[in-house]
Amino acid sequence: MSIISTSTGEFQQVQVSTGLRARFEQLDQTAVRLMARYGITALRISMGLVYIWFGALKMVHGLSPIEAFIRETMPFLPGDLFLPFLAIWEMAIGLGFITGKFPRITVMLMLAQMGGAMSPFILRPDLLFTQFPYAFTLVGQYIFKDIILISAALVIGATARGGKLVSDPRAIKREMR
């Protein structure tokens, strides 16, 4: 027996066959196993693609939509030297994520790069907000979403010593005995 909400907001009991419930449970377990098995790899590769793509854009003057912002935010850096350096750094991070080689170094390079990427919050917050502290400009949103990339890197970093996602935490407890 299951309870569902109707369009009027009332609750109604509905009989769900045990066969259908068992099939759904089996499908759910299969999906969770696949996510646990391939999720970190998909995360690494997607992070790598983002870094290679964004880095490659910075290699060509005027191609990256963030180039002018970088130059305006950090006028103390020689942009014509710094942007190619940053591009190579980002592409190296991307290659590290895609290949899975040197995961600790890759994550450390990325966290250092993110320190620079987040620095406008200190250096030029006026360029990040239309209404401080809650309404971002488009560039502010672009930079703020980097917290997701940082979190993803931490998850990837947790696998550097063989850690992995598991679909059934009870299996870990059985292995520890």
The strand pairing partners of 2, in sequence order, are: 14
User: What's the alpha-carbon Rg for the chain, to the nearest Å?
Assistant: 23
Q: Where are the domains of the chain?
A: 39-176
Tell me what the mean pLDDT of segment 149-153 comes to. 97
Q: Assign 34 a pLDDT band (cuts: 50, 70, 90).
A: very high
pLDDT at 93: 98
CB atoms < 10 A from the CB of 103, how many? 19
Put simply, whether the predicted model's pTM sits higher than 0.85 gets the answer no
Average per-residue pLDDT for the chain? 90
Give pLDDT tens digits for 66-120.
999 999 999 999 999 999 999 999 999 999 999 999 999 999 999 999 999 999 9
Given a contact cutoff of 8 angstroms between Cβ atoms, the answer to whether 93 and 106 are in contact is: yes
pLDDT at 136: 97
CA distances to 64, 117, 131 from 140, in Å: 16, 11, 11
Query: Is the pLDDT assigned to residue 56 strictly greater than 60?
Result: yes
Tell me what the mean pLDDT of segment 143-163 comes to. 94
Render 40-72 in DSSP notation, one character per residue: HHHHHHHHHHHHHHHHHHHHSTTTSTTHHHHHH
pLDDT at 15: 63
pLDDT at 166: 85
> With pLDDT > 70 as the criterion, what percentage of the chain qualifies?
88
